[in-house]
Structure 1
Amino acid sequence: MSSQGWISTLLLLTLLGLAAISDLRRHRIPNLLILLGLTLGLAGQFFASGLAGLGQGMLAGLIAFGLFLLLYLTGGMAAGDVKLMAMVGAFLTPQQALLATAASLIAGGLCGLTLLLWHGQLRQTLVRYGAMFRAHSYLPPASSEVAGQPFPYAVAILLGTTASLSSQLNF
């Protein structure tokens, strides 16, 4: 990886780290952080490859945004997470954005499963999901369930993006 690629990756992971800390502390991702990241990501793409790079970054951002937007529209994702994923895409190629998005979704599932196991609520959650399938309707979790609490998805985006870029980082 070139020194420019290292700088871009380090910048992206730093911004994601800041977003994850904010999400853990306040359950919010500042729009200013996302706007800064979008600007830096697209500027880096333009600096590296001109208009073609800018177009790639914009397309990658739209791909990541669009895939997470579908989850937002179904109530499975918060708006800040959707915007954060668009920021991630701005630093990447469209192929990398697809991989980072998929890895972030997998990381989110694993984080959720870990929380359920940690709190001893896996069985309770599976029973509720079984009842939902039988009733063909959504049964919201009780306020005492971990599934009913805010989920800092920026952590999963950080983990998934890091995992998806790890082969390029030569660790």
Structure 2
Amino acid sequence: MVRYVILLLILGAGAFYDVREHRIPNWLVLSGIILGILLEFSEQEKPLESLMFLLRLIIVTGGFFLLFLCRMIGAGDIKLTALICGFLGFRTGALAVGLGFLIGAFWSFIKMAGSGSLFARLTCLLAYIMRVFQTRKLTTYYDPVRDGYDVVIPLGLCLFLGTLGSMVWVIR
């Protein structure tokens, strides 16, 4: 239970920073990593099992890194995603992240439909995909200087809500 409370506190703080500043501080993520490692070592009888926390962090970070290279997701969002899977394991972590991404997709759809930019954003995405396939080079999809922050949703908040929802789902 302590594990869940710590994770939710870290994700809640990350959500706060993401909404307010459009970024998630490294010190917060580092705190989560240190607390996760300490929890693993205090709860496990086998020391090698404790290394699974770090292995999950590395695998998830590597898996989402391509999205960061394209600037489709922020580095802080990837770090929070890795923390979620580090704390909860791959199965429950995937549920939490999946719910968070669904919340983000729904929020984005509502935001774009409400502002009348849905068609324009989907056209930009299609043009980006075609450009990547034609040039065979990954380029930046989102540029805050060019695109501004109007098109951005705080994925850290969505990940927090997805994790909260998955915990309710799993614990019930």
Local SS of the residue matching 1:28: coil
Does 2:66 correspond to 1:70? yes
Which residue of 117, 124, 137 maps to 2:131?
A: 137
Which residue of 7, 10, 14 maps to 1:15?
A: 10
Give deviations 1:96-115, integer Å, cap 9, x for gaps. Answer: 23333333332322221122
After TM superposition, the structure 1 stretch with the greater mean CA deviation from structure 2, 111-120 or 152-161, is 111-120
Q: What is the TM-score when the length of structure 1 is the normalising length?
A: 0.78
Which residue of 101, 119, 127 maps to 2:115?
A: 119
Q: Residue 52 and residue 107 in structure 1: after superposition, are their counterparts in 2 closer, same or farther (change >3 A)?
A: farther
Which residue of 36, 57, 73 maps to 1:61?
A: 57
Give deviations 1:104-161, integer Å, cap 9, x for gaps. Answer: 332322221122133232233334445x27x9227879747943xx432211211222
Local SS of the residue matching 1:91: helix
Local SS of the residue matching 1:92: helix
- Give the Cα separation in 1 of the matches to 2:117 and 2:51: 45
Local SS of the residue matching 2:44: helix
Structure 1 unpaired stretches of 5+: 1-5
Report what 2:138 is aligned to.
Answer: none
- Give the Cα separation in 2 of the matches to 1:144 and 1:92: 34
Does 2:45 correspond to 1:44? no
Q: Residue 140 and residue 45 in structure 1: after superposition, are their counterparts in 2 closer, same or farther (change >3 A)?
A: closer
CA RMSD of aligned residues (A): 2.7
Give aligned-pair identity as a percent. Answer: 27
Structure 2 unpaired stretches of 5+: 133-140
Report what 1:167 is aligned to.
Answer: 169
How far has the Cα of 1:59 moved from its partner? 2.4
- Give the Cα separation in 2 of the matches to 1:145 and 1:25: 12
Number of residue-to-residue matches in the alignment: 161
Give deviations 1:46-88, integer Å, cap 9, x for gaps. Answer: 2112424412222222232222212112221111111222222
